[in-house]
Amino acid sequence: MSGREMKYIQEAFDSNWIAHIGPNIDAFEAELCQYTGSKYALAVSSGTAAIHLALLAMGIGKGDIVLCQSLTFVATANPIMYVGATPVFIDSEATTWNMCPNALEDAILHYLQMGQKPKAVIVMHLYGMPAMLDEILYLCRKYGIPLIEDAAEALGSEYKGRKVGTFGDIGIFSFNGNKIITTSGGGALLSDNAGLVEKARFLATQAREPVAHYEHSAVGYNYRMSNVCAGIGRGQLEVVGERVWMRRGNFQFYQISLHKNPGIDFQDGAIDMFSNRWLTALTIAGECPSLVHNALLANGIESRPVWKPMHCQQIYKTLPRFGGSVSERLFHQGLCLPSGSNLSDDDRKLIASIVDDCFKT
């Protein structure tokens, strides 16, 4: 917590606005728009809910094809199943670790030849690193397919000077407790398309019609963020720049300290990509990732493997996929080092020394 949240939380309690409507929600949505440059924002209960609403707002349903990045957290893919559509998984490219444009076009052409045009593409900015948006946007526009940006991990990241989450038809953010900023739990849906946001807003409030009695013409969901949580978000949003700076500082420290060790490569991006470095992610050749993980754990320090690709998950392994095996290699060789915004220099020095010792021995 930044210390600024209590002001807005207290205002919510003092004014008795504690439910899913209130001044903090309206202000938080406006402040998200101001920070990201998006025209419209909808604050909801989670990033997963935001993806679900995005698919519903786009009219995606049973039998539709949605092309989805494979190297991601499962919450990117699950909402596709919620609406009855079929996720088709796209492998990564080796630089940013995000969706490979070549594999994406192969998938698009495959389904077009089958007479089944994909209804959406979901790209994810992994660990805060922007995807190759020029190439992906080109393909989406060329073939007339809407783009959803899963920027759950990427608040504050930029592509060519513009905040990610604002390039696609819809962008989503997560404010879960482990993100750059948090509302304890929560998310947001952003778009420049007023119609899509209003459709999502309608569905997020139980699809209640604007009449005095309770009238419902569609199946809706209880997906709105509370006014109290939005107050937390307002206090957090005031320090988002500081949090990004801290996370990038972690990455720079690790990169300078560890790059000399053979076989270590960090997740990278082009010069016009600005990553918030939500997590410092790297690959270590051979069997070393598990050795480093265990050495850190022996010292009471948690590290984490890179996300296991969706096409390798038990629930999704029978579904179609396109591309090579880049994401599988990243999973087997990848490791995320401690990256919290409150790490001290002593913390980082200890972590780096343990990693160095693994290479010495």
Does 99 share its domain with 229? yes
Q: pLDDT by residue (tens digit) across 243-258?
A: 999 999 999 999 999 9
Write down the residue that tokens 């579904």 correspond to.
319
Which of 237, 265, 288 is the last residue before a domain boundary?
A: 237
Torsion of CA 167, 172, 174, 180, to 10 degrees: 10
> What are the backbone dihedrals phi and psi of residue 72, each rounded to the nearest 5 degrees, phi first?
-165, 175
Residue 179 annotated to the active site: yes
Does 187 share its domain with 260? no
CA 312 to chain centre: 20
Instruction: Write the CATH number for 55.
Output: 3.40.640.10
Whole-prediction pTM value? 0.95
Instruction: Write the CATH number for 308.
Output: 3.90.1150.10
Does 250 share its domain with 319? yes
Judging by beta carbons within 10 Å of its beta carbon (0-12, 13-18, 19+), is residue 102 exposed, middle or buried?
A: middle
Q: pLDDT by residue (tens digit) across 326-350?
A: 999 999 999 999 999 999 999 999 9
Which residue range(s) make up the domain with 158? 5-237
Does 265 share its domain with 309? yes
Closest CA to 279 of 303, 308, 296: 303
Name the helix (H) or strand (E) containing 101: helix 101-113
Q: Is the pLDDT of residue 287 over 70?
A: no
Question: What is the tally of structural domains in the chain?
Answer: 2
pLDDT of residue 18: 79
Q: pLDDT by residue (tens digit) across 114-159?
A: 999 999 999 999 999 999 999 999 999 999 999 999 999 999 999 9
Does 25 share its domain with 60? yes
At a CB cut-off of 8 Å and minimum separation 6, what does 85 contact?
55, 60, 61, 62, 63, 64, 65, 66, 119
Which of 203, 220, 237 is the last residue before a domain boundary?
A: 237
Does 280 share its domain with 200? no
* Per-residue tokens: 317: 């392994």
Marked catalytic residue, from 163, 179, 199, 308: 179
